[in-house]
């Protein structure tokens, strides 16, 4: 694994602002962090060149596009590095895969697929089984009911959670009317949220002003929820853990208490309520394994009355993160 890189205070402040809104201009970020626009631009460029940040992406509520996300966790068998690379490349190039990560723990690979219904999902998984089924020894599937992202407050050691911290997407399809041009805009923002309206205009044939208006409309309708960063785990100086949590006899009140706990914890950056073998997934980014154990001990202590079991995965590389990976015909 590549060595982790150091982030100084200025880098962390810039990353925090990019996590708040990665479509902010360098000038806007400069005002908030007390640096010049040129220095901000130089440092963002360096973060990308050093591969500390893999990409900037848009959190798109794909339920408003008529889709739900299904998480797949698989344990692999009988394959060498080359075959594993082929599997990952297959998933990266698949138009219906929105997220892929390699991990240590009870599973070796996790990926998310979007589907408009179960037949759609079955087609995607059947294709995968035909090509790589002999290398999959176990698979668990969980459907996302609701996912919430939290801004990385730990980057600047905020005492209180940011008021902008929460950004969510759903899983119950509630299709919003969008046209071909909206799809093209979402495709570009899915690849890089820092792309300019002028750049998108050149690819769509619309004016930059029209692109800006359409983006604002997509934001207002809730199709676009947030603009975020994707750290590169091999370089980013924090460890990424995903914890799959099963509860027993959980009441609405205790569920709300657990979600609120996650919102208030600066190191928890993502929480999913799921329908599957477990009730929740939480992602946390920590300085070291000891900090992870400390947070987990706190969770086990606070919620010992409802906690049934949990499994921790160390996410050591994210291969794909794109909520709008392909153009669909269902406009």
DSSP 148-185: EEE--GGGGT-SS--TT-EEEEE-S--PPP--HHHHHH
∠ Cα 88 91 97 (to 5°): 140
Q: Identify the residue with better confidence: 161 or 208.
A: 208
| pLDDT for the residue 295 | 98
CATH number at residue 259: 3.30.70.920
Helix, strand, or coil (residue 294): helix
| Other Cβ atoms within 10 Å of 229 Cβ, number | 23
Distance between first and last Cα of the chain: 43
184 inside domain: no
| pLDDT for the residue 167 | 55
| pLDDT for the residue 66 | 85
Average pLDDT score over residue span 86-101: 95
110-122 per-position pLDDT tens digit: 999 999 889 999 9
Phi then psi for 59, rounded to 5 degrees? -80, 105
Helix, strand, or coil (residue 312): strand
38 inside domain: no
Average pLDDT score over residue span 62-79: 91
Asked if the model's pLDDT at residue 164 lies above 80, the reply is no
280-310 per-position pLDDT tens digit: 999 999 999 999 999 999 999 999 999 999 9
Tokens read off for 141: 């599937």
| pLDDT for the residue 166 | 53
> Among the listed ranges 1-10, 33-42, 82-91, 309-318, which one has the minimum average pLDDT value?
1-10
Domain count, the chain: 1
248 inside domain: yes
98 inside domain: no
Q: Identify the residue with better confidence: 163 or 231.
A: 231
| pLDDT for the residue 117 | 87
| pLDDT for the residue 1 | 44
Asked if the model's pLDDT at residue 163 lies above 60, the reply is no
| Distances 15 to 88, 89, 217 between C-alpha atoms, Å | 28, 28, 26
Q: Bridge-partner residues for 226, per DSSP?
A: 59
- Residues spanned by the domain of 156: 146-170+239-315
126 inside domain: no
Q: Which residue has tokens 């071909």?
A: 180
Give counts: helices (H), strands (E), the chain: 10, 11
Q: What percent of the chain has pLDDT over 90?
A: 82
What one-character-per-residue DSSP string does 53-104 give?
EEEEEEEE-GGGGT-EEEEEEEEE-S--HHHHHHHHHHHHH-TTEEEEEEEE
Asked if the model's pLDDT at residue 246 lies above 60, the reply is yes
Asked if the model's pLDDT at residue 231 lies above 60, the reply is yes
265 inside domain: yes
What single-letter DSSP state applies at residue 214?
Answer: H
């Amino acid at each position: 694994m590549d060595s982790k890189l150091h982030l100084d205070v200025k880098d962390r402040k810039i990353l925090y602002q990019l996590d708040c809104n990665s479509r902010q201009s360098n000038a806007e970020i400069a005002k908030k962090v007390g640096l010049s626009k040129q220095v901000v631009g130089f440092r963002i460029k360096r973060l990308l060149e050093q591969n500390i940040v893999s990409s900037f992406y848009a959190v798109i509520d794909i339920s408003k596009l008529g889709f739900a996300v299904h998480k797949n966790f698989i344990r692999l068998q009988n394959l060498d590095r080359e075959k594993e690379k082929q599997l990952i490349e297959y998933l990266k190039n698949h138009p219906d895969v929105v997220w892929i990560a390699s991990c240590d723990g009870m599973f070796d690979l996790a990926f998310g697929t979007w589907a408009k219904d179960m037949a759609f999902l079955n087609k995607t998984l059947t294709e995968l089984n035909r090509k790589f089924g002999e290398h999959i020894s176990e698979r668990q599937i969980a459907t996302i009911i609701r996912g919430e992202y939290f801004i990385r407050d730990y980057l600047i050691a905020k005492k209180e959670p940011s008021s902008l911290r929460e950004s969510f997407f759903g899983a119950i399809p509630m299709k919003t009317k969008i046209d071909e041009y909206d799809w093209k805009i979402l495709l570009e923002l899915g690849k890089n949220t820092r792309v300019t309206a002028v750049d998108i205009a050149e690819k769509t044939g619309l004016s930059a002003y029209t692109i800006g208006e359409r983006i604002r409309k997509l934001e207002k309708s809730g199709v676009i929820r947030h603009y975020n960063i994707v750290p590169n785990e091999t370089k980013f100086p924090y460890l990424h853990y995903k914890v799959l949590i099963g509860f027993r006899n959980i009441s609405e009140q205790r569920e709300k208490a657990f979600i609120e706990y996650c919102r208030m914890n600066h190191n928890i950056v993502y929480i999913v309520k799921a329908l599957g073998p477990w009730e929740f997934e939480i992602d946390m980014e920590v300085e070291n394994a000891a900090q992870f154990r400390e947070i987990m001990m706190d969770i086990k202590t606070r919620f010992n009355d409802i906690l049934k079991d949990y499994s921790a995965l160390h996410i050591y590389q994210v291969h794909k993160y794109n909520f709008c990976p392909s153009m669909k015909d269902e406009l």
